[in-house]
Amino acid sequence: MSKKKILLNAFNMNCIGHINHGLWTHPRDNSTQYKTLEYWTELAQILERGLFDGLFIADIVGVYDVYQNSIDVPLKESIQLPVNDPLLLVSAMAAVTRNLGFGLTANLTYEPPYLFARRMSTLDHLSRGRVGWNIVTGYLDSAAKAMGLTEQVEHDRRYDQADEYLEVLYKLWEGSWEDDAVLNDPEARVYAQPGKVHKVEHHGEFYQVEGYHLCEPSPQRTPVLFQAGSSERGLLFAGRHAECVFISGQNKAATKRQVDKVRASAVEAGRNPQDIKVFMGLNVIVGATEELAWRKHAEYLSYASAEAGVAHFSASTAIDFAQYALDEPIQYVKSNAIQSATKNLQNNDWTRRKLLEQHALGGRYITLVGSPEHVADELESWISETGLDGFNLTRIVTPESYVDFIDLVIPELQKRGSYKTAYETGTLREKVFQGTARLPEQHTGSTYRPLPH
């Protein structure tokens, strides 16, 4: 029996400090070049050389102003500030690659669905079907206030709005243009057939939309749908809509429980458990030998900022950790922030010292350190013991982290049969799921397609 092939996304953001804070000060890190096209096109080519499935680009709208009730630390350490638009990167990267996918984060709370549908269809056309959308509803009060709201919309209510948003998008992407609407017949002077393009009429609680989708059908129509909610309401949403779910694991037992919950949510929504691919965020520091890897780890630690990591975590939980003494127990507070982040604090047994230790590398993801063989062993073990499908691999030093992984770990995984040796053909959805370019029949989005005449 052939081994399960590990799926891999590079995890990045259109900014300097993403997950592992402070490493922008490392002399070999080039993340301050994020404003240039060359930074992104070179990264895309590196990842395609490593046969990565995709580049997953995170995003936030707003700033991390919870820690010390200011943005001083985020500005000094560039904690996802400044941050540029992720969608504008795709055209350039798609032009210099043929197979790499792009998972793009966009906050639906602040994007009108009608225009967003056009933007994603445009990118799907230009990339020949290589885009995915990471669906987020936001969690920062700073974003809500910047966008004209007095405060963040309540957590579960955001998902109610998201359900309706997706309904509007399915109507536009799947239902407005029939498959054979475009004739492209110069002699008959007919590009698109009027009887095969339909007006979308949506009158809901959150959205009022009357109009035709502005784009002809793109290769995938609906981009591959990513999502990262792990709350009960988030899982309900994932079961219905998500094709790829991104989780943050701290140990194998808890990760397996989370993966099982995601698969169960798909089944409850009338889908197959394998209709959702589950990815976990991960740091990898690899060297030709165990000793060299640990030496590199020590070097990276000397540049990392634990305080910046804790400042980032403050925004994720909506708790100002700066107000606590080093060994004072942190009090859990229910909020509209990220539910999976606050869950860890519910026992009230965390202190600022403990958080600083956890964020020694500037972030709190699991870190694998070692030789190519050791890292490959660990990756295979995580896949087999938890049911994960793959990983979102963070950058620690850019682009060194990815280059090391590609040069050292990928050949070892390929030798073992745990990683592909060539790309499949077709769109991102076809590559990841070995199916069709379109949403599968059991996905709720497929029900919005026009009925055959």
Numbered residues of the known binding site for FMN: 59, 105, 155, 159, 230-231
Give the type of residue at 302.
Answer: S
What are the binding residues? 59, 105, 155, 159, 230-231
Distance CA 196, CA 191 (A): 12
Asked if residues 372 and 315 have their Cβ atoms less than 8 Å apart, the reply is no
Distance CA 125, CA 123 (A): 5
| Encoded tokens for 391 | 């990983």
Distance CA 52, CA 58 (A): 17
Cα 277 to its chain centre, rounded Å, is 12
| Encoded tokens for 432 | 């990841």
Distance CA 283, CA 285 (A): 7
**Longest Cα separation, the chain:** 79
- Give the gyration radius of the chain's Cα atoms: 22
68: left (phi over 0), alpha (psi -120 to 50) or beta: left
Distance CA 361, CA 279 (A): 21
Distance CA 50, CA 403 (A): 8
Q: How many CA atoms lie within 13 A of 56 on its CB side?
A: 29
| Encoded tokens for 262 | 């995601």
Distance CA 153, CA 155 (A): 6
Name which of 396, 445, 389 is nearest 418 in CA terms.
389
Q: Give phi and psi for 145, each to the nearest 5.
A: -65, -40
CA angle 414, 226, 167 (to 5 degrees): 150
Beta-carbon contacts of 254 under 8 Å, excluding residues fewer than 6 positions away, are: none
Distance CA 404, CA 397 (A): 10
Q: How many CA atoms lie within 13 A of 151 on its CB side?
A: 7
Other CB atoms closer than 10 Å to residue 178's CB: what's the count? 18
Distance CA 4, CA 239 (A): 23
| Encoded tokens for 343 | 């869950």
